[in-house]
């Protein structure tokens, strides 16, 4: 893709009492060296450099994993995010961990890597620095120089193991931005002191404190925040430190990166999430195709999955993280050119159209609405913070334009319309419609979140929003309502907390809005019925733990219970298809073409994808499309 340097490990643990909380690597054994060597060779063959991030997590991990050792910290101060109560490090522990850093760096060098970056912020090195954690009274606590003692010992040990011809850097906060924590002046002193000692070659600056979910949401900003919000801080550190300064935090586009470099604000720009969205950023720039770069929209789907221990996937690029099975670059088919008709121009249909066209096929894409995008088009309008999500649709629409897809808007495609195109393949990507059928009574009296987001309904007064989905859909609608001074909102869920599936860096912004606007958040109640009442509507709620029924009298009831497939046209077409609509699941998973022949009299293959199958999310819809259409 053209990258100069790739930093991996994210971050790699150096000792056994630093277990992986996010699925990290372990460099506490020589067993890692051959794997480093393999990776280094693969990266170097493309002319790039590669470095590993090394760390000891200290208190920022869990104890009930891997070796079941207690977490450790300079003092017994619990981290809210990871919740363990750490052991206070004894001198023998400190010496052991210092040696472990040196040995891990040695393994990186013997593994053929080009350098190491020691992760400080929020991890053990920083836990010694910050007064918020370090309450020691010995030579490792008290003054800032004493609190730096551990980090000096770590870097001296690392240098003793790797020598002066190996790159060693540090990633650290330039300002914890927390009362009682490290100030910008403190962090500048730390950076300049380390630089003057000659033990480091570069400084990588972030901003903030990551001990809680609310705090880390500012350190790793998502949609709704300005691009490059922490560049000024990194630039200020750069003025004081006579070393190259790196920075990575929501630098999503080349314009921001170009500005930071051209103005001398940074020496190197990190664009992690940007390259997850499009690994070919540099190549496209070199080819003069900057307008074809798929921009990161800051959804933080990648980060939020890491918080659950899952793999880091991109919300809009289903090939990222699946490079062994899913292509980033779609190759043209060596077979006959086919006519592919796709119904529905949401993200599933758009991706199916893009991939089919890249394969060299003739593609017709029907969309009943006046604009493409489906649910994403609506979500981007939910509130100001979500507007950036439309970038997913914009890129897909631009690409199918480049590829010559015949996009027909304002066109309702029934079975006759589709078969009149004489297709070889039909893909149904019609999405879903809000599910209100779960209520015992009053389905006709409720409003859905989609009605509110689309602007078809503007409830005021007392509003009950019932969310039985737990995703950002309902929270986005609630955020929109919460900021309306004419609405008194209660957000009700049968789960044990609101936004049950919204985790990581995503949910703090919603909760902040809810608390600031006095939203009532009520867990453990399920909406069972709605009836008319002289003062509005009576909503009956059931507590599954006590079996009690509770009633709310409100002006409006809004619900979110997922979607039901909009699949009538699929069933209308089944009998005329060669496969009767069946997908060979094994072939889909294995990456083979769909060759099922269930109806020799059929004239086309028929498939359905995305929410037209079942309600899931943006990533699932686009993954459906990619892994199916790449075999057409």
Backbone dihedral angles phi then psi of residue 600, each to the nearest 5 degrees: -60, -20
> pLDDT by residue (tens digit) across 534-569?
999 999 999 999 999 999 999 999 999 999 999 999
Residue 503 is predicted with a pLDDT of: 83
Other beta carbons less than 10 A from residue 65's beta carbon: 12
What percent of the chain has pLDDT above 90? Answer: 96
Residue 192 sits at the vertex; the CA angle it makes with 189 and 195, to the nearest 5 degrees, is: 145
> pLDDT by residue (tens digit) across 438-451?
999 999 999 999 99
Length of the chain: 632
Q: What is the DSSP string of 599-627?
A: -TT--BEEEE-GGGTS---HHHHHHHHHH
Instruction: Tell me the average pLDDT of the chain.
Output: 97
- Per DSSP, 312 falls in state -
Stretch 233-242: mean pLDDT: 98
Hey, what are 15's tokens? Answer: 């000792």
Contact 479, 529 (CB under 8 A): no
> pLDDT by residue (tens digit) across 477-497?
999 999 999 999 999 999 999
Largest CA distance in the chain: 84
> pLDDT by residue (tens digit) across 96-121?
999 999 999 999 999 999 999 999 99
Contact 58, 72 (CB under 8 A): yes
pLDDT at 308 over 90: no
In terms of DSSP H, where are the helices of 455-560?
472-482, 507-516
- Per DSSP, 207 falls in state -
**Residues 326-337, buried b or exposed e (16+ Cβ, 10 A)?**
beeebeebeeee
Q: Which residues contact 202 (CB under 8 A, 6 or more apart)?
A: 167, 169, 170, 243, 244, 245, 246, 267, 268
The answer to pTM > 0.75 is: yes
Query: Which fold would CATH assign to domain 443-561?
Result: FAD/NAD(P)-binding domain (3.50.50)
Residue 259 is predicted with a pLDDT of: 98
Q: Which residue has the tokens 């300005």?
A: 226
Residue 384 is predicted with a pLDDT of: 86
Residue 203 sits at the vertex; the CA angle it makes with 200 and 207, to the nearest 5 degrees, is: 145
Residue 307 is predicted with a pLDDT of: 80
* CA dist., res. 301 & res. 280, Å (int): 20
Stretch 58-68: mean pLDDT: 94
Hey, what are 384's tokens? Answer: 């100001």
Distances (CA, A) of 506 to 386, 439, 479, 552, 621: 12, 30, 13, 30, 21
Secondary structure (3-state) at 244: coil
Q: What is the DSSP string of 276-308?
A: HH-TTHHHHHHTT-GGG--------HHHHHHHT
> pLDDT by residue (tens digit) across 65-100?
899 999 999 999 999 999 999 999 999 999 999 999
pLDDT at 611 over 80: yes
Helical (H) or strand (E) element with 529: strand 526-533
Residue 180 is predicted with a pLDDT of: 97
The domain defined by 5-250 carries CATH number 3.90.1150.10: no
Q: Which residues contact 334 (CB under 8 A, 6 or more apart)?
A: none
Hey, what are 331's tokens? Answer: 């190759």
Q: Which residues contact 410 (CB under 8 A, 6 or more apart)?
A: 367, 368, 369, 370
Backbone dihedral angles phi then psi of residue 107, each to the nearest 5 degrees: -65, -35
Residue 421 is predicted with a pLDDT of: 99
Residue 429 is predicted with a pLDDT of: 99
CA within 13 Å, CB half, 430: 20
Q: What is the 3-state secondary structure (H, E, C) of 25-93?
A: CECCCHHHHHHHHHHHHHHHCCCCEEEEEEECCCCCCCCCCCCCCCCEECCCCCCCCCCCCCEECCHHH
Other beta carbons less than 10 A from residue 403's beta carbon: 18
pLDDT at 504 over 80: no
Peptide bond preceding 11 in cis form (omega within 30 of 0)? yes
* CA dist., res. 271 & res. 250, Å (int): 8
616 band by pLDDT with thresholds 50, 70 and 90: very high
Residue 151 is predicted with a pLDDT of: 99
Contact 436, 527 (CB under 8 A): no
Residue 23 is predicted with a pLDDT of: 84
288 band by pLDDT with thresholds 50, 70 and 90: very high
* CA dist., res. 349 & res. 625, Å (int): 7
Q: Over the Cα atoms of the chain, what is R_g?
A: 27
Residue 388 is predicted with a pLDDT of: 95
Domain with CATH 3.40.50.720 in the chain: 339-433+565-629
Domain with CATH 3.50.50.60 in the chain: 443-561
| CATH architecture of the region 339-433+565-629 | 3-Layer(aba) Sandwich (3.40)
Q: Which residue has the tokens 């199958």?
A: 613
412 band by pLDDT with thresholds 50, 70 and 90: very high
Residue 456 is predicted with a pLDDT of: 94
Residue 458 is predicted with a pLDDT of: 95
Hey, what are 590's tokens? Answer: 């294995």
387 band by pLDDT with thresholds 50, 70 and 90: very high
Residue 79 is predicted with a pLDDT of: 96
279 band by pLDDT with thresholds 50, 70 and 90: very high
């Amino acid at each position: 893709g053209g990258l100069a340097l790739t930093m991996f490990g994210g971050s790699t643990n150096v000792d056994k009492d630093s277990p992986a909380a996010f699925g990290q690597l372990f460099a506490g054994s020589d067993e890692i060296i051959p794997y480093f060597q393999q990776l280094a060779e693969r990266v170097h063959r493309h002319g790039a450099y590669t470095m590993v991030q090394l760390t000891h997590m200290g208190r920022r991990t869990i104890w009930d994993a891997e070796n079941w050792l207690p977490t450790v910290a300079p003092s017994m101060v619990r981290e809210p995010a990871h919740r363990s109560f750490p052991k206070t490090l004894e001198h023998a522990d400190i010496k052991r961990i210092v040696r472990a850093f040196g040995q891990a760096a040695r393994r990186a060098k013997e593994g053929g890597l080009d350098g190491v970056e020691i992760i400080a912020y929020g991890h053990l090195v920083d836990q010694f620095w910050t007064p918020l954690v370090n309450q020691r009274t010995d030579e490792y606590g008290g003054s800032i120089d004493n609190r730096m003692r551990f980090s000096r010992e770590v870097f001296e040990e690392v240098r003793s193991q790797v020598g002066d011809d190996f790159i060693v850097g540090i990633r650290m906060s330039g300002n914890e931005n927390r009362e009682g924590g490290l100030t910008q002046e403190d962090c500048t002193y730390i950076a300049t002191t380390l630089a003057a000692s000659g033990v480091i070659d570069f400084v990588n600056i972030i901003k903030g404190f990551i001990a809680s979910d609310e705090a880390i949401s500012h350190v790793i900003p998502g949609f709704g925040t300005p691009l490059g919000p922490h560049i000024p801080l990194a630039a200020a550190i750069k003025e004081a430190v006579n070393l190259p300064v790196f920075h990575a935090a929501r630098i999503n586009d080349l314009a921001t990166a170009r500005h930071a470099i051209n103005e001398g604000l940074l020496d190197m720009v990190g664009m992690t999430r940007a390259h997850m969205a499009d690994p070919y950023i540099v190549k496209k720039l070199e080819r003069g195709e900057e307008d074809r770069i798929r921009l990161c929209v800051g959804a933080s789907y990648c980060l939020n999955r890491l918080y659950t221990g899952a793999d880091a996937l991109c919300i809009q690029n289903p090939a990222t993280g699946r490079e062994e099975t899913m292509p980033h670059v779609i190759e043209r088919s060596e077979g006959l050119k086919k006519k592919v008709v796709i119904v529905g121009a949401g993200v599933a249909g758009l991706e199916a159209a893009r991939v089919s066209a890249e394969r060299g096929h003739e593609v017709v894409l029907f969309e009943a609405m006046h604009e493409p995008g489906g649910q994403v088009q609506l979500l981007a309008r939910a509130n100001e913070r979500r507007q950036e999500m439309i970038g997913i649709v914009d890129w897909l629409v631009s690409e199918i334009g480049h590829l010559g897809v015949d996009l027909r808007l304002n066109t309702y495609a029934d079975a006759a319309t589709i078969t009149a195109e004489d297709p070889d393949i039909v893909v149904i990507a019609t999405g879903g419609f809000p599910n209100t059928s779960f209520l015992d009574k009053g389905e006709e009296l409720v409003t859905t979140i989609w009605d509110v987001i689309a602007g078809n309904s503007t409830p005021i007064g007392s509003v009950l929003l019932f969310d039985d989905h737990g995703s950002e859909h309902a929270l986005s609608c609630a955020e929109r309502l919460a900021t309306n001074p004419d609405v008194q909102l209660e957000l009700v869920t049968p789960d044990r907390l609101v936004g049950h599936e919204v985790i990581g860096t995503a949910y703090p912004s919603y909760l902040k809005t809810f608390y600031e606007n006095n939203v009532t958040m009520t867990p453990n109640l399920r909406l069972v019925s709605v009836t008319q009442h002289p003062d509005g509507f009576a909503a009956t709620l059931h507590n599954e733990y006590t079996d009690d029924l509770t009633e709310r009298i409100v002006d409006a009831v809004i619900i979110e219970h997922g979607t039901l497939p909009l699949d009538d046209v699929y069933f209308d077409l089944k009998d005329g298809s060669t496969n009767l609509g069946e997908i060979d699941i094994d072939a889909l998973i294995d990456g083979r073409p769909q060759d099922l022949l269930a109806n020799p009299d059929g004239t086309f293959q028929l498939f359905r994808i995305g929410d037209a199958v079942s309600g899931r999310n943006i990533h699932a819809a686009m993954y459906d499309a990619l892994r199916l259409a790449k075999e057409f």
